[in-house]
């Protein structure tokens, strides 16, 4: 055996062992590339999800804080001798002692109420229930107060206003060009129309801002709402947030100030007719 053969034999193991090393390095590189392709999109997705979560938490935090906050409480307001809202003791003290039981509430009436704001009252009633009627809110109450009875509003029934037909026809014929109206001087009784007239004369206004009810009246500085039912001639007196009352009365004042003065006199109409002939 020559020395060359010995040299080739001694170098053979080194040559053979290099092939697996190169193969393993190639597979390792492929695995790393695959890992980059798979893991990197997952990292990006996780980043965007976490970012969205942080953004959602940022915007939801004030809402959650608001929902978790304790609602404002209100105290009873004395409106011409009627306390709104009130407790069971207030209802009894005001004379609403004739009560009938229902599954969820007690319906209590007050006999012989007489007049309210100068208008004869047919009946007055309220409902005692276990709702938390001392929460400050514009509309419905959702929170219950088990075992504690109170009332939210007082309903007064005046009845509808009836009119003399001959009187109405006479006065409306004397007002050509005007819409037909029910004049209070032609009424046979007071009723709900006269009550509305007295409210308006005292500074109560309808809502034009959309924050209150359509057939309700509000007055600046008074945290109440008086909802009028013309058909059955009733007035519901209930609490209403004072800040919303201020917004409603401001909107009404602004609407009134923007109305241009309109001369609706007979002389003005005759002047218009003459101008058309010239």
Contacts of 46 (CB under 8 A, 6+ apart): none
The answer, yes or no, to whether residue 265 has pLDDT greater than 80, is no
Per-residue exposure over 174-211, b if at least 16 CB sit within 10 Å of its own CB, e if not: eeeeeeeeeeeebbeebbbbbbbeebeeeebbbbeeeb
Tokens of 147: 């075992």
pLDDT higher than threshold 90 for residue 245: yes
- The predicted pLDDT at position 92 comes to 97
Confidence at 144, pLDDT banded by 50, 70, 90: confident
* pLDDT at residue number 68: 53
Better pLDDT: 60 or 33:
33
Evaluate if residue 53 carries a pLDDT over 60.
Answer: no
Mean pLDDT of 33-41: 59
Q: What is the pLDDT of residues 68-97, one digit of tens each?
A: 556 788 999 999 999 999 999 999 999 999
Query: For 169-224, how does the pLDDT look when each residue is reduced to its tens digit (9 = 90+)?
Result: 888 887 766 666 788 899 999 999 999 999 999 999 998 888 888 899 999 999 99
| CA pair distance 86, 252, nearest whole angstrom | 30
Q: Counting beta carbons within 10 angstroms of the beta carbon of residue 106, is it exposed (0 to 12), middle (13 to 18) or buried (19 or more)?
A: middle
- Other beta carbons within 10 angstroms of residue 228's beta carbon come to 20
Question: Which DSSP letter does residue 131 get?
Answer: B
Q: Which pTM was predicted? A: 0.67
Q: Supply the pLDDT for residue 145.
A: 86
């Amino acid at each position: 055996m020559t020395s060359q053969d010995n040299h080739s034999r001694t170098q053979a193991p080194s040559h053979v062992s290099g092939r697996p090393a190169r193969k393993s390095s190639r597979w390792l590189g492929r695995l790393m590339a695959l890992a980059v392709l798979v893991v990197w999109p997952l990292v990006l997705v996780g980043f965007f999800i976490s970012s969205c979560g942080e953004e959602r938490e940022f915007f939801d935090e004030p809402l959650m804080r608001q929902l978790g906050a304790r609602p404002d409480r209100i105290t009873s307001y004395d409106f011409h001798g009627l306390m709104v809202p009130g407790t069971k003791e207030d209802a009894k003290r005001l004379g609403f002692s004739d009560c009938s039981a229902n599954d969820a509430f007690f319906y209590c009436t007050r006999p012989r109420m007489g007049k309210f704001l100068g208008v004869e009252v047919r009946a007055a009633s309220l409902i005692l229930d276990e709702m938390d009627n001392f929460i400050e809110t514009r509309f419905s109450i959702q929170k219950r107060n088990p075992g504690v009875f109170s009332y939210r509003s007082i309903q007064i029934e005046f009845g509808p206003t009836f009119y003399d037909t001959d009187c109405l026809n006479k006065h409306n014929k004397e007002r050509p060009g005007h819409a037909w109206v029910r004049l209070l001087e032609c009424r046979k009784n007071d009723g709900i129309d006269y009550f509305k007239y007295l409210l308006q004369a005292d500074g109560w206004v309808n809502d034009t801002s959309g924050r209150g009810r359509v057939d309700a009246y509000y007055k600046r500085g008074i945290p109440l709402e008086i909802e009028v039912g013309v058909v059955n001639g009733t007035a519901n007196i209930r609490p209403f947030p004072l800040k919303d009352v201020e917004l409603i009365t401001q909107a009404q004042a602004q609407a009134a100030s923007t109305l241009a003065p309109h001369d609706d006199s007979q002389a003005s109409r005759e002047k218009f007719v003459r101008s058309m002939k010239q």
